[in-house]
């Protein structure tokens, strides 16, 4: 992520406030969240909790990709003060292994449901959505299911170009693993350091079969999210294409309402070069965030 791009993306569009969600060091320490609210007066707006991409090993909550997505969504709205969004700073691998990032996202999501915090920033704690891209979609998927199983209702779940299956056995891994948008060799390394046993001092050995099963979004208890609108965004020439296709099938078999589209291109930038796909992506968010 290049310095200054995030700042340019949010300038004169969003009022940004850094919030530190307290948590004991034993559980991972405080979680930083950047709350983005419309510049104009507002109250009781829906909130999107956004999880940045980067294979779970790169990037931060100052995320220009997320800012660009929500700027584009905002541009499709009839008025500009229609939603808020919050970008979560989760622990990266290999410094912290799975499921620490899931813990971070869930802790932030739960904290953002506090009525006092919601009132202070002008959003409705009963209308909180969850979305992420690539590695962030991996964490959004795990966190969404965990939250739903604990009784927390998500307003919607948006999964963009999801990093889903650590086995990497789909045909798309062979066909598109050499493309630079998301190289297969880097993706394999990211899975390995995310799911390896122990902390970083233990090295990056091959994950056990148990850890591989625990990490796969294909094996989550998706039935817990029945009734929640879900987006499954794919890219045609993406190493992760088969992950998204398989996940969409699993979610539909579990009884979920899944809207799926495939952009013509490679990985997370594909919709930028496919207007029809961009319209579907931003249109889904617009409908999900409608009053």
Distance CA 224, CA 204 (A): 33
Average pLDDT over residues 145-151: 98
Of the candidate ranges 3-17, 153-167, 190-204, 240-254, the one whose mean pLDDT is the lowest: 190-204
Q: Which carries the bigger pLDDT value, residue 120 or residue 77? A: 120
Average pLDDT over residues 221-225: 98
Residues of the chain by 3-state class (helix, strand, coil), percent to 5: 45, 20, 35
Pair 126, 46: CB distance under 8 Å: no
Q: What is the DSSP string of 163-230?
A: ---TT--SHHHHHHTT-TTS-HHHHHHHHHHHHSSS-GGG--PPPPHHHHHHH-GGGS-GGGGTTSEE
Instruction: Give the chain's end-to-end CA distance (angstroms, integer).
Output: 34
Average pLDDT over residues 119-145: 98
Percent of the chain with pLDDT over 70: 97
Of the candidate ranges 108-117, 143-152, 178-187, 190-199, the one whose mean pLDDT is the lowest: 190-199
Tens-digit pLDDT profile for residues 230-247 = 999 999 999 999 999 999
Q: Does 80 have pLDDT greater than 70?
A: no
Q: Does 200 have pLDDT greater than 80?
A: no
Q: Residue 228: CB partners within 8 Å, gap ≥ 6? A: 144, 148, 153, 154, 155, 156, 157, 256, 257
Which residue in 155, 125, 160 sits closest to 231, CA to CA? 160
């Amino acid at each position: 992520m290049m310095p200054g791009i995030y700042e340019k993306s949010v300038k004169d569009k969003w009022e940004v406030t850094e919030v530190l969600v307290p948590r004991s060091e034993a559980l991972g320490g405080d979680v930083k969240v950047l709350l983005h609210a419309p510049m104009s007066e507002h109250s009781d707006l829906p909130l999107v909790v956004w999880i940045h991409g980067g294979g779970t090993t790169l990037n931060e909550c100052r995320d220009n990709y997320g800012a660009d997505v929500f700027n584009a969504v905002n541009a499709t709205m009839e008025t500009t003060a229609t939603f808020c969004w919050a970008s979560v700073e989760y622990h990266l691998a290999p410094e912290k292994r799975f499921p620490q990032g899931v813990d971070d996202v869930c802790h932030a999501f739960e904290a953002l449901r506090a009525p006092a915090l919601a009132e202070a920033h002008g959003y409705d704690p009963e209308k909180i959505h969850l979305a992420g891209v690539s590695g962030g979609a991996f964490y959004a998927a795990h966190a969404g299911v965990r939250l739903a199983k604990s009784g927390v209702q998500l307003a919607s779940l948006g999964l963009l170009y999801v990093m889903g299956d650590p086995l990497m056995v789909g045909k798309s891994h062979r066909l598109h693993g050499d493309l630079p948008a998301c190289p297969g060799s880097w993706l394999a390394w990211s899975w390995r350091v995310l799911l390896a046993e122990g902390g970083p001092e233990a090295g990056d050995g091959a994950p056990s079969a148990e850890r591989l099963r625990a990490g796969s979004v294909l094996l989550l208890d998706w039935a817990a999210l029945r009734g929640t609108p879900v987006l499954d965004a794919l890219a045609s020439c993406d190493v992760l294409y088969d992950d998204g296709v398989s996940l969409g099938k699993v979610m539909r078999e579990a009884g979920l309402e899944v809207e799926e589209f495939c952009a013509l291109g490679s990985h997370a930038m594909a919709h930028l070069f496919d207007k029809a796909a961009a319209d579907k992506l931003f249109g889904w968010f617009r409908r999900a965030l409608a009053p």
